[in-house]
Amino acid sequence: MRIASLQTREEENWGRKQMAISMYISFSVIPAYPNSMAMLKITTVKTNRQCRIVVEGELVSSAVEELKREWGEARVSAGCLTLIVDLRNVITIGQEGKDVLLEMMSEGARFICGGVHNRHVLQQLARKINL
C-alpha cells in the first residue's frame, strides 16, 4: 500500500551561484505478516547525485515483494545515479530478504548498514558474489 508521494523542486540563489535540488520521496508501509505486528517501511529519496532506498523494519517473506518492486522502479528511474540501500533501521532479515539483497548487490547497489548482525549478513552476501 503506497501511503504518500511527494515531489519538490527548490531553487536558492547565493549571489553568483544558483543551485537546484530535485527530490522525489515515496514510501510504503506494509505488514510483513497479515496477522502480526511485523512491518516494513521503504522510502525512496532521489537527489541530483544518488537514489537512496531507506528500508526500516522487518525484511521478511511478503514484505520482500514490495522491496523488489521499489528496487525495480529505482533502477529504471535512477539512470546514472548511484543506487544506495540504507539498512540502518532494519531489525530482521529473513532468507527471502537475503536473496533480494544478494540480487541488489550483484546489480551494483551500495549499502549502508548499522548493527553487527546486518553488517555480518552483508559481508556473507559479498563473499557469495566474490566466489
Mean pLDDT over 105-110 rounds to: 93
Q: What percent of the chain clears pLDDT 90, i.e. is strictly above it?
A: 51
The Cα–Cα gap between 43 and 39 comes to: 13
pTM tops 0.85: no
The Cα–Cα gap between 9 and 57 comes to: 29
Q: pLDDT of 22-75, one tens digit each?
A: 444 555 555 544 555 568 999 999 988 999 999 999 998 878 999 999 999 999
Number of domains in the chain: 1
Q: Which CATH number does the domain housing residue 24 bear?
A: 3.30.750.24
List 125's β-bridge partners, or say none: none
Domain extent for 63: 2-130
Query: Contact, 32 vs 39, CB < 8 A?
Result: yes
